[in-house]
Structures are given as C-alpha cells and as structure tokens.
Structure 1
Amino acid sequence: MNLKLTWELKSFNELTNEALYQVLRLRSEVFVVEQGCNFMDMDNKDQKCMHILGSLDGVLLAYSRIVPAGLSYEQPSIGRIVVSGKGRGLGLGIELLNVSILKLEERYGATAIRIGAQLYLKRFYESFGFVQSGEVYQEDLIDHIEMTRDVKNSVQSF
C-alpha cells in the first residue's frame, strides 16, 4: 500500500486546537502508552519549534518537530519523530524523515543536524547519513544515542 500523506509545516502559533490535540495525542499514544514511558512530553520547546504534520483524510499519522539550534543541541535538531501504529510498515517513517530534513534545510540551510535517537533505530537513521556521536544513555528506561548528520553525510533515503 502506498499512502500519500498531506504534509504541513506550522509554527506553534499556526497550529489549530484540533491539530495540536492530534499532535499531543499521537505523541502520548506512542511515547507514553505504547513505549510505557512516564515523562513530561510537553517540555516548553514546542512553542519555539516548527511542526511537521503528515495526515491522511484529516488523521495525523506522522509527526516531527524542527528544533532550532541552541534549544536542545548546538545544531538544529529534529525531535519527537513519530509514526502512528496505524501507519507503520508503509514507509511513512522514511517519508517523514525526508520531509523533516528538507524542511529543516529550507529553514536553516545546509547544516549539521543532531538528534537523540532510540538505539534500536540506529540503522534507520544511518540510512539518512546520521552517525553515532555519543555514548548510549538511558532516557525513560529506553537506550538512546546522539546522532549527527554532517552536511557531507547528506543522503536521501527514498
């Protein structure tokens, strides 16, 4: 099945109440309920980020946020990368990361990008040119690593 999502890039203030609700619900469904993590998802960074929403027929299936340099890391970042359980196995994660990288580079130019990745997704992120740039650490009882995508490592995984 080849779904074609509608992609939107919105500032926090441009998010409608319904869109914000769908974003917070999707993040909660996956990060809190599915992954069993008790953490404060609303970290006061959303207001300074750009939000990428991938929807099908008005239902949010994929989401990430573009974090400006200096807020989480020295470099700009992509965070809260999430695909709904209803959309997994359909290539939506690949599409989401490609759109996220493109939108980040449109906003900040060709630049290094740093992410905090769940360790089990290391190979997925490596396919986009990210390389491990830190030791394994635990966040909410899940192994994570920092990964960096230098400009010279730019790879598009289509």
Structure 2
Amino acid sequence: MLLDKTFSQLTTTELFQIYRLRAAVFIVAQSRVVQDPDDVDLIARHIFIKDGDAIVAYARVYPADGGVSFGRVVTAASHRGQGLGRELMDGVMDCIRKYFPGNPIHIHAQEQVERFYYQWGFQSEGAPFILAQTPHVKMTHPAI
C-alpha cells in the first residue's frame, strides 16, 4: 500500500519505522556519516510503501532550489527485486504533479542508481561529486 503524508500526519510508529529503515541502509549498510533525521523531514511529503504494518520503501519530496526535490529513496533489503522502487517512484512523481506542479525537479542521485532515474525522464548534469562519502550525480527533470 502506497501512502503520502506530511510530517504531522505520520504516526509515531510510522516515523520510527522510516528512521529505522533509512538508518539501516544509509548509515549502517552504506557506512555513511549523515545527519538523519534532518530539518527537511519537517517540510517534506513522505511517500512510503507498507507490507502489512511494516514500511518497506520510502522517499521524501520537498521544495528546494526554486523547484522541487526528493531524496532518502530506500527499499528494505528484504523487499528488493519486487518492483517497489518503480512503484515508489511512480508515487513520487504523482506527488510532484499534485503538490508541486510546474516546478522543475532537481536531485542528487547516488551514482549507482543514475540509470534507474532515466526511466522517468531525468537527465544527468555535470561530473559526479562526493556527498556524504558517496559518489552522486546531479540530475534534473523539466517541470511537470
């Protein structure tokens, strides 16, 4: 089940599960030093997929840089390979159409998933760079 909520609409259990999932992947599995949670959580729309009561995929969408951005895109290791990334991205793009229409999209994608975002019309800009100890690339999408 795909859900879309503001920070204040999240239950405490959902918030805990989101932070636990993000920490498991970005901090533990990828060995990154990153401030998580951060202030963006307060202004973001939180898009997530539940399997029963458990959150198994997540992304956040927020206004940024004169447009809109999204990030913290993650799928639980136990649920990878099931098409949840595509379902989640469809939800992200629907969220942008609904709440941020007419805004260009700017993201910093981890280099290993750059090709994934091409499916939704994103284009890479510039050379890769390091963000939170991980190679990233800036990607853009025209306003939708």
TM-score by length of 1: 0.87
Corresponding position of 2:61: 66
* Greater Cα offset, 129-138 or 17-26: 129-138
Task: Spell out the pairing of 1:1-80 with structure 2 (5 A cutoff).
Answer: 6-69=1-64, 73-80=65-72
Percent identity between the aligned chains? 33
Structure 1: runs of 5+ lacking an equivalent: 1-5
- Are 2:122 and 1:130 equivalent residues in the alignment? yes
Amino acid at match of 1:135: A
Aligned-residue CA RMSD (Å): 1.2
Shift of 1:111: 3.1
Structure 1 runs of 4+ aligned residues shifted over 3 Å read none
- Are 2:86 and 1:117 equivalent residues in the alignment? no
SS of 1:97 mapped into structure 2? helix
Q: Tell me which protein shows more strand as a share of its residues.
A: 2
Corresponding position of 1:3: none
Corresponding position of 2:96: 104
SS of 2:127 mapped into structure 1? coil
Q: Which structure would you say has the larger RCO, counting Cα contacts within 8 Å and 6 or more residues apart? A: 2
Structure 2: runs of 5+ lacking an equivalent: none
